[in-house]
């Protein structure tokens, strides 16, 4: 079956995604987990380290970010899944990850890549940030504000962020809500960074600071 999420016309920005009470609850939850959970440092092979350290906070020094799996409370899980099903009835919540980019974790960067996942669709959600660092999806530029998100197929749509210099105190906090789609099943691919051979437009991105 052709992947219906590949076209960038589907990367629609969602305004005011979470109601205030749920937003405040999840922000408090994240802050508490950053204190409670064990931290582990890694680089390069983040995928394997995620599997082995599921309940830990993973510091990826190569990407200048931390990552932790979010355990959603029932009210948030219900809200997220019902919201997604307005987009497509068959979607079922899979898992969620919190990611924070910050200079204290390394040099924040995100080269063009696709993810290793069997998720059919993901909501890319900005929890909080004090900078503007736009996302790129298949060459389309997307800017988010706090409590905004957008739909994306992270498995098939190439995505990245152009190089941006972080100053001390700069941060970007994101949550990725992943959904399974029984109508859109594919074998889970290997996560990999992309080259100009797989995406010709990457040649243009080389002028923006990335080399391949």
The pLDDT value recorded for residue 88 is 84
- The DSSP element (H or E) to which 164 belongs, if any, is none
The pLDDT value recorded for residue 25 is 93
Rounded distance, CA 43 to CA 39, Å?
Answer: 13
Assign residue 137 a region (left: φ > 0; alpha: ψ between -120 and 50; beta: otherwise). Answer: beta
Topology at the third CATH level for domain 13-208? Jelly Rolls (2.60.120)
Taking residue 62's Cβ as centre, other Cβ atoms within 10 Å add up to: 15
Taking residue 142's Cβ as centre, other Cβ atoms within 10 Å add up to: 17
The pLDDT value recorded for residue 191 is 44
User: Of 188, 155, 164, 51, whose CA–CA distance to 103 is shortest?
Assistant: 164
In the predicted model, residues of the chain with pLDDT beneath 70 are 1-8, 43-52, 184-212
The pLDDT value recorded for residue 144 is 97
H helix intervals, the chain: 20-36, 46-52, 74-87, 202-205
State the pTM of this model. Answer: 0.84
């Amino acid at each position: 079956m052709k992947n219906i999420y590949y076209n960038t016309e589907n990367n629609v920005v969602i305004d005011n995604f979470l109601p205030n009470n749920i937003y405040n609850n999840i922000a408090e939850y994240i802050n508490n987990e950053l204190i409670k959970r064990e931290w582990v440092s890694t680089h390069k092979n983040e995928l394997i380290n995620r599997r082995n350290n599921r309940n830990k906070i993973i510091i990826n020094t190569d990407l200048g970010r931390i990552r932790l799996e979010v355990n959603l409370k029932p009210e948030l899980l219900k809200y997220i899944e019902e919201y997604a099903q307005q987009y497509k009835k068959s979607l079922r919540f899979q898992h969620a990850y919190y990611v924070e980019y910050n200079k204290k974790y390394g040099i924040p960067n995100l080269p063009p890549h696709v993810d290793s996942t069997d998720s059919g669709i993901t909501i890319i959600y900005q929890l909080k940030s004090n900078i503007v660092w736009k996302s790129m999806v298949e060459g389309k530029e997307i800017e988010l504000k706090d409590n905004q998100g957008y739909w994306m197929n992270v498995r098939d749509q190439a995505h990245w962020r152009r190089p941006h210099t972080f100053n001390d105190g700069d941060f970007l906090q994101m949550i990725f809500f992943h959904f399974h789609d029984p109508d859109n099943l594919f074998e889970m691919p290997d996560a990999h960074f992309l080259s100009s051979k797989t995406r010709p437009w990457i040649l243009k991105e080389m002028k923006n600071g990335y080399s391949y």
